[in-house]
Structure formats: C-alpha cells, structure tokens
Amino acid sequence: MPAYGFSTGALFKGALARGVDATRSLQLPAIELSALKLRELDGLVQYVDTADLSSFAYVSIHAPTDLSREQEAAVAATLLGLARRFRWHVVVHPDCLWTPDLWTPFGDLLCIENMDKRKAIGRTFEELADLFERFPAARLCFDIAHAHQVDTSMTEAFRILRAFSGRICQLHVSEVTSSSKHDRISESIIQSFQEVSDQLPRNVPVIMETPVSVDEARAELDKAARLFIQTRAVSHA
C-alpha cells in the first residue's frame, strides 16, 4: 500500500512548523510542505534550513499559486535551490509556468498538478499532454478530486491515469467542493474515486489535503485507504 502523509496546510493552514509536528506525531512517512501563498515561501526556506525532516521518507514542496509573472523568476530560483539541495519534488500549478526556461532546469523534480475547473489549463488529458511536451522530464501530481470535479464520470481521470501513470510521483487526496475548496472525503466521493481504483499507482505517496484536526486525521486516512479498493468492474470510453 502507499505511504501516506498530509499537506502541512491541511492540518494547520499557514502554520508550517505546526503542520510538520502534527504529521510527525501521526507517525506518517510522507509530508508536503505547503507554501501556497507567496508570503509563506521565505518562512519555508528559513524553516528547512534548520529543521530535521529525516523521519520522513518522502518530502515535497507545494509552490506558491498566487505569484505574478514578474515574481516568477525569483520564485523559480528559490524553489530550484531547494529542489537541488534536498532532491525534493516541487508541486506547481501549470498556470504559473509562464517561462519554460525557468522551470526546465528542475528536470524530474518539477511536479505538475492537474487542475480544477477554475483553471484554463492542466485539467484534461489533452491539456496535460501539451504541458509534458513543454516539460518532457516533469512528473505529475495527480489530484483525484480535481479530476472528479472536472468530470464526475471519472472518464477524464481514467484517461489521465492511463496515459501518465508512469509520471505520477505523488497523489493528492481530498474532496473538492463546487467552489473548488478542499473538503473532507464523503462516502459518495469514495464510490466515485473507486471507479479508477485499478489505475491508481500503489507505489507513490498519498498526500492528504483534507482540512481536518490532528484528532480527526486517522479517520480521514482510513477513508483514503478505501480508494484503492475497486468495488465493481467499470468500463471507460
């Protein structure tokens, strides 16, 4: 079964150190260090300079999503320094990749996330294929909730998984509301996600993005484990 972990922002939004401590207290082997807001990036850099993250077998960074085109070069340079120093994947939203020359040096440490319906790119198989033509070494962070929101039949998720399973380096798991907010996993969404259970890789970390307390985390992890159980045969066009 996969290694599980949390995004620090899911457990403690905007409080990186508390999110790390909480994930460590749950004795989970994977973690995503969240700097979704640009203002959080300097604090992340300072934190990893002195933090001991050796208890985690897998660490990734989620890059800021609110940067401007003018800020892209500085952000990319900071993240590239961390990626090369620690050999961590950097999860990026494709609508922030304005200048390919700034991101191609990441090689296979660049991890492009498939997007929700708000975004203009990165939502479908075709849009991801275009991105991987531009970034041929990049990996994929497959967000199953984003894929479900884009196509609730899970056919698009199936197409993405079938085409790019070899690129996936981590999974994002949560439920996403109609307003594109991450939420806890419901029974109905588990059933939908199980439509593509047979396509989900078992050898990459599962990063939970569900906003829960530490006391609620175990129950949410148990729900996520059920995503890897296929309950019926499914046919996708």
Query: For residue 178, what is the DSSP state?
Result: T
Question: What pLDDT, on the 0 to 100 scale, is given for residue 44?
Answer: 98
Does pLDDT of 218 surpass 60? yes
Average pLDDT over residues 141-166: 97
3-class SS of residue 113: strand
Average pLDDT in the chain: 95
Using one digit for the tens of pLDDT, what is the confidence trace for 64-112?
999 999 999 999 999 999 999 999 999 999 999 999 999 999 999 999 9
Domains of the chain: residue spans and CATH = 4-228 (3.20.20.150)
Question: What pLDDT, on the 0 to 100 scale, is given for residue 233?
Answer: 46
3-class SS of residue 114: coil
Question: What pLDDT, on the 0 to 100 scale, is given for residue 179?
Answer: 82
Does pLDDT of 123 surpass 60? yes
Q: What is the DSSP string of 40-86?
A: GHHHHHHHHHH---TT-SEEEEEPPSS--GGGHHHHHHHHHHHHHHH
- HSE-up of residue 102 (Cα within 13 Å, Cβ side): 17
In angstroms, the CA 121 to CA 128 distance is 8
% the chain with pLDDT above 70: 97
